[in-house]
Amino acid sequence: MYDAGNSGSYANTNGHANGHANGHTNGHIHKAGQYEGFETALLERPNGAAHRHGYPLLSQPANRTAEERKQAVEGAVREILMNVGEDPDRQGLQRTPHRVAKMWGEVLEGYEIDPVALVNGALFDVEYDEMVVVKDIEFFSMCEHHMLPFFGRAHVAYIPSDKVIGLSKIPRIVDMFARRLQVQERMTQEIAAMLEEVLGPQGVAVVVEGSHMCGMMRGVEKEHSRMVTTAMRGQFKTDRELRNEFMSHLQRPSGELR
Ligand SMILES: [Zn+2]
């Protein structure tokens, strides 16, 4: 028997107020529990309910199932093949739309990752106020202007106030923002902004070094195909010595940090 009493959100579909109180947004804040501040900050952004860090929420367009969206991408890839002068039915191309749709699902997987769930359970209270550095985080992203890869390394530092984050989470945060259509400048800022929101640290620094296929392949802007972007917040913005200390960590070859 269907037990309306246990179903929560659907117990009273006519009661508007009740329906709202049990709606997705409140449910989510409640689930996030100890990180309410972070969730609230996300929701306060313009169109907060539908956007996170300025991005459309998961699974757009919302009225299509995952399978319908995948098929639409396959159809679009087939259209591209035909319109660049190819025969999409020749043997080598028959499964190409399928493979491309699957691959895009993977390289753009960041849209499907919930940032709140990602950090949940990985924040720890500590008395530690020295610089934490995680460097040489490999990333692969897709430039939003050409849908071609850019890739390289991200380096992250922060100075805790009272919280630290599990070390494995920082590469996962980088990955979440990388696996979207991006420009490197914004990706750098987003990584810094998320750490700032989650940790409330005394300072955050992010340096990203990226090589851009769109510049490399076309050969027109060779000097722009390798790019370094930075985001300095809090003490890293105001304290030049601290900034230099972080930068000096990056000069050393990997493996010599400690
Ligand atoms: Zn590009």
Chain segment 15-73, per-residue pLDDT in tens: 333 333 333 333 332 233 333 344 434 433 333 333 444 444 555 677 888 889 899 99
Inter-CA distances, 121 with 33, 69, 98, Å: 10, 32, 37
Q: What is the CATH number of the domain that holds 210?
A: 3.30.1130.10
Indicate if 127 and 228 belong to the same structural domain: yes
Opening angle at CA 150, ends 144 and 155, nearest 5: 115
Indicate whether 7 belongs to any domain. yes
Q: Do residue 215 and residue 164 come from a single domain?
A: yes
The per-residue pLDDT for range 213-224, each reduced to its tens digit, is 988 887 666 656
251 vs 246: which has the higher pLDDT: 246
Is 145 one of the annotated active-site residues of the chain?
yes
In a domain, 11, yes or no: yes
Decide if 51 is inside a domain: no
**Is there a contact between 200 and 161 (Cβ–Cβ < 8 Å)?**
yes
- Identify whether residues 154 and 86 lie together within a single domain: no
pLDDT, one tens digit per residue, over 130-163 is 999 999 999 999 999 999 999 999 999 999 999 9
Q: How far apart are the CA of 173 and the centre of ligand 1, in A?
A: 22
> What pTM does this model have?
0.76
Residue 43: phi, psi to the nearest 5?
-75, -20
> Choosing from 94, 145, 221, 224, which is the catalytic residue?
145
CA of 42 to the centre of ligand 1 (A): 28
Q: Which amino acid is at 27?
A: G
Kindly state the tokens that stand for 10: 């659907």
78 is a domain residue: yes
Strands 132-143 and 181-182, how do they pair? parallel
**Domain assignment of residue 70, given as a range:** 66-109
Question: Is 135 inside a domain boundary?
Answer: yes
Q: Under DSSP, is residue 231 helix (H, G, I), strand (E, B) or coil?
A: strand
Q: How many residues are recorded in the chain?
A: 258
What is the distance between the alpha carbons of residues 11 and 92, in angstroms, rounded to a whole number?
53
